[in-house]
Chains A and B, each alone.
Chain A
Amino acid sequence: DGGITQSPKYLFRKEGQNVTLSCEQNLNHDAMYWYRQDPGQGLRLIYYSQIVNDFQKGDIAEGYSVSREKKESFPLTVTSAQKNPTAFYLCASSISGASYNEQFFGPGTRLTVL
């Protein structure tokens, strides 16, 4: 089955620690995205990548970093510089980065900072 997987589903982190969230897709999509969702809020774009070895900052990139070494993978690192990292993190992909392409989402990772 083609799709997007994210791991882990739940993640707990102590303050001051970096943590990496995994996102893998086997849809052969060129574009991948990371969003953050807070309760009662819309999705906010953290980073996106239109092609391997290239990525751009979204609206709230501070305190986050990404890499895109393979087409299938787009891991997100939440660094200790992120002031309020507790949130629901969603990874998505689309055939290309054009805005007329729908995005498909993974099941998400819930990060809680203790």
Chain B
Amino acid sequence: RKEVEQDPGPFNVPEGATVAFNCTYSNSASQSFFWYRQDCRKEPKLLMSVYSSGNEDGRFTAQLNRASQYISLLIRDSKLSDSATYLCVVPGRAGSYQLTFGKGTKLSVIP
């Protein structure tokens, strides 16, 4: 299994829809995870941190499944402004201080 793997998409959804992305990781000892959002030709920005079973912030919910080694991001009531690439980020190799970034899942919300 790769260190981190995401479905590249694109996910094309209508406004108001609910969409979910999954991300699998290989390091079973990982304790903290992140979802970043990256707009076209911009820098990544932190969307959510996930330290335990999950986290919720408004329309966004992140869930962690340690047994299956995946994390998910759920977006409810999609807005046009949610169109972006969503990066899954996990700790690097055991003993490493690095983070490993997924290649991202592209979301397009359509009017």
Asked whether, in the complex, the Cβ of B99 is within 8 Å of the Cβ of A105, the reply is no
Asked whether, in the complex, the Cβ of A40 is within 8 Å of the Cβ of B43, the reply is no
- How many angstroms between the C-alpha atoms of A41 and B4 in the bound complex? 13
Q: What are 7 inter-chain pairs, A to B, with CB distance below 8 A?
A: A35-B101, A99-B32, A100-B32, A100-B51, A106-B43, A107-B42, A107-B43
How many positions in chain B have a CB within 8 Å of any CB in the partner chain? 25
Would you list which residues of chain B between 13 and 41 have a CB under 8 Å from chain A?
31-32, 34, 41
Would you list which residues of chain A between 8 and 43 have a CB under 8 Å from chain B?
31, 35, 40-43
Asked whether, in the complex, the Cβ of A99 is within 8 Å of the Cβ of B44, the reply is no
Asked whether, in the complex, the Cβ of B45 is within 8 Å of the Cβ of A43, the reply is no
Which chain B residues border A98 with CB–CB below 8 Å?
Answer: 97
Task: Report which A residues bind B (CB closer than 8 A).
Answer: 31, 35, 40-43, 45, 48, 50, 58, 88, 90, 97-100, 102-108
- Chain B: minimal CB distance from A57 (Å): 11
Which chain B residues border A90 with CB–CB below 8 Å?
Answer: 43-44
Question: Would A105 and B43 be within 8 Å (CB), given that A42-B87, A100-B31, A100-B32 are in contact?
Answer: yes
Asked whether, in the complex, the Cβ of B49 is within 8 Å of the Cβ of A102, the reply is yes
Asked whether, in the complex, the Cβ of A99 is within 8 Å of the Cβ of B97, the reply is yes
Residue among A48, A88, A100 making CB contact with B91, cutoff 8 Å: A100
B92 close to chain A: CB less than 8 A: yes
Asked whether, in the complex, the Cβ of B98 is within 8 Å of the Cβ of A99, the reply is yes
Asked whether, in the complex, the Cβ of B104 is within 8 Å of the Cβ of A42, the reply is yes
Specify the chain A residue showing the minimal Cβ separation from B33: A100
B81 close to chain A: CB less than 8 A: no
- How many angstroms between the C-alpha atoms of A88 and B97 in the bound complex? 23
- Chain B: minimal CB distance from A44 (Å): 8
